[in-house]
Amino acid sequence: MLDPKFIKDNLEAVIKNIADRYMKADAELTVALYEKRNGLIKKLEDERRARNENSAAMKGKLEADKRNALIAEGKRLKDNIAAMESELSGLDLQLDTELRKIPNMAHPDAPKGKEDKDNTEVKQVGSPTVFSFAAKDHVQLGQELDIIDFDAGTRVSGTKFYYLKNQGVFLELALVKYALDILVKKGFTPFITPDIAKMEILEGIGFNPRGPESNVYALEGEDSCLVGTAEITLGGYYSDKIFAKEELPVKMAGLSHCFRREAGAAGQFSKGLYRVHQFTKLEMFIYCLPEDSGKAHEELRLIEEEIFSGLDIPFRVVDTCTGDLGAPAYRKWDLEAWMPGRGEGEWGEVTSTSNCTDYQARRLNIKYKDEDGKNKYVHMLNGTAIAISRALVAILENFQQEDGSIKMPKALVPYLGFDTIHVINK
């Protein structure tokens, strides 16, 4: 969330930012509630001071009537304070509700626009794969090679579930290890995180775990959820922490399963593995000083580029427009890989890296001690190292051969122990 004081002092900019991001939030109401709350706090504190003085006056020996008078005054103050406190907690709740709706400020250079079409291409690496034969999509390839079983996934678990099978299994493990090795070399501490997190952590990260439009699976009667990304568990890892300045940056790599409801998402562009309820993802996470977050964001993007270049997958980098940014993001870059099986071929998102500045840190209460002795909020950034399901789409579709086999990227061969997934039962 944003600092209410910041909203008050930059009201016009905040209102414009909400509009740029096509979000529904009421900054003016928020400020009004904030001011009302502060006024009440002031009055409440005066009453509490009176109460403290009153009880301090009663410490020694007193004549009975004097004491009784003080007790009567104390009782009056007590009732008054109780009433004000309950009013205040109501106001706090309202303020918090409004505050939650207000997105992070967007980077001034983030392209203005409403939806993903308005994202701007920053660069392209490689070029769309050209085939001398009719290319198949990954659904067909995966089934023919017997490495992905969608039918069994649907039967056992429901639509948008799948089994990886045979070499598909080793492909997932190889991709994880390949990316992990790169990250460890770059100073990231590897983690395998829980796949479940408490709602308060989800909310701190900026997810909405409740409601029918939520993308989150909540656990019945548990006050916790299946995570949609390890961003949640990595970001929650240091909640309520105060870092020494020298400890930063902290760089983490977290492997987890990701669970997403994806309610209502259907159609050609989300078929097969592209949009599923469960997948494996290796996520990067950085906690850093505010002045370093721009640089750290760049670093995350460059690592993503390195991972995909290393796999020889053609991709482009896009700068995400204001309307397409998630609420916590200040700026976001996506890598989109070439996916020949989407229609006539199409760029499809494979990674995403966001600089969330102090938006998450404020709610999760993650700070560092600055030289002036003050505790200040850290900046928090996340980025996909590799999301297996999407990477599989790109690998199967780009590296398919005329005979239906798939050539493995060179970088994966040492991890796989084979260089081709051959067509069977021919």
Partner RNA sequence: GGAGAGAUGCGAGAGCGGUUGAAUCGGGCGGUCUCGAAAACCGUUGAACCUCCGGGUUCCGGGGGUUCGAAUCCCCCUCUCUCCGCCA
Of 45 and 402, which CB lies nearer to RNA in the complex structure? 45
Taking the CA atoms of residue 125, residue 128, residue 132 and residue 133 in that order, the dihedral angle to the nearest 10 degrees is 130
* 80 near RNA, judged by CB under 7 A: no
Contact between 251 and 189 under an 8 Å Cβ cutoff? The reply is yes
Whole-angstrom Cα distance, residue 233 to residue 256? 9
Helix axes 64-101, 27-56, angle to 10 degrees: 160
Q: Is 154 in the site for RNA (CB under 7 A)?
A: no
Rule CB under 7 A: which of 243-302 touch RNA?
A: none
Span near RNA by CB under 7 A; candidates 43-51, 90-98, 166-174, 279-287: 43-51
Give the 3-state secondary structure of residue 48.
Answer: helix
Instruction: Determine if 45 is a binding residue for RNA (CB under 7 A).
Output: yes
- Minimum Å distance from CB 57 to RNA? 8
**Residue 66 interacts with RNA (CB under 7 A): yes or no:** no
Q: Taking CB under 7 A as the rule, does residue 51 contact RNA?
A: yes
Among 15, 23, 74, 165, binds RNA (CB under 7 A): 74
Does an H or E element contain 84, and which? Answer: helix 64-101
Cβ nearer to RNA, comparing 71 with 122: 71
CA distances, 91 to each of 72, 88, 95, 98, 288 (Å): 29, 5, 6, 11, 33
Sign, CA dihedral 211-214-219-223, equals negative
Q: Assess 68 for contact with RNA (CB under 7 A).
A: no
Separation between Cα atoms, residue 245 and residue 356, nearest integer Å? 19
Q: Alpha-carbon distance 19 to 106, whole Å?
A: 11
> Does residue 113 bind RNA (CB under 7 A)?
no
Is 12 among the catalytic positions?
no
Which span (48-56, 211-219, 289-297, 319-327) binds RNA, by CB under 7 A? 48-56
Shortest CB 128 distance to RNA, Å: 45
42 part of the interface to RNA, by CB under 7 A: yes
Instruction: Please state the closest distance from residue 41 (CB atom) to RNA, in A.
Output: 5
Contact 101, 94 (CB under 8 A): no
Output the smallest distance, CB 353 to RNA, in A: 29
Residue 169 C-beta: closest distance to RNA, Å: 20
Total residues contacting RNA by CB under 7 A comes to 27
Sequence-distant (6+) residues with CB within 8 A of 152 are 163
Q: How far is the CB of 375 from RNA (least distance, A)?
A: 4
In the residue annotation, 37 being an active-site residue is answered as: no
Joined together, the tokens standing for residue 205 give: 């990260």
| Residue tagged active-site, from 349, 354, 389, 397 | 349
Identify the three-state secondary structure at position 269: helix
Q: Which of 13, 19, 28, 52 contacts RNA by CB under 7 A?
A: 52
Contacts of 41 (CB under 8 A, 6+ apart): 88
Give the helix/strand (H/E) hosting 328. none
Beta carbon nearer to RNA, 74 or 326:
74
155 lines the binding site for RNA (CB under 7 A)? no
Q: Are 371 and 14 in contact (CB under 8 A)?
A: no
Residue 352 falls in the annotated catalytic set? yes
- Out of 352, 354, 389, 397, pick the active-site residue: 352
Torsion of CA 297, 298, 301, 303, to 10 degrees: -110
Listed ranges 73-81, 94-102, 149-157, 395-403: which one lies at the site for RNA (CB under 7 A): 73-81
Stretch that binds RNA, among 51-59, 245-253, 299-307, 324-332 (CB under 7 A): 51-59
Residue type, 329: A
Active site residue 390: yes
Binders of RNA among residues 356 to 385 (CB under 7 A) are 367, 373-375
**349 is annotated as an active-site residue:** yes
- From the list 37, 299, 390, 397, the catalytic residue is 390
Closer of 160 and 257 to RNA (Cβ): 257
Catalytic entry in 37, 98, 231, 260: 260
Burial 367-404 (b: 16+ CB within 10 A, else e): bbeeeeeeebbbbbbbbbbbbbbbbbbbbbbbbbeeeb
Interface with RNA, residue 54, by CB under 7 A = yes
Q: DSSP strand E in 150-233: where?
A: 163-164, 189-192, 196-198, 224-226
The residues carrying an active-site annotation are: 260, 275, 349, 352, 390
Residues interacting with RNA, by CB under 7 A? 4-5, 38, 41-42, 44-46, 48-49, 51-52, 54-56, 58-59, 70-71, 74-75, 77-78, 367, 373-375
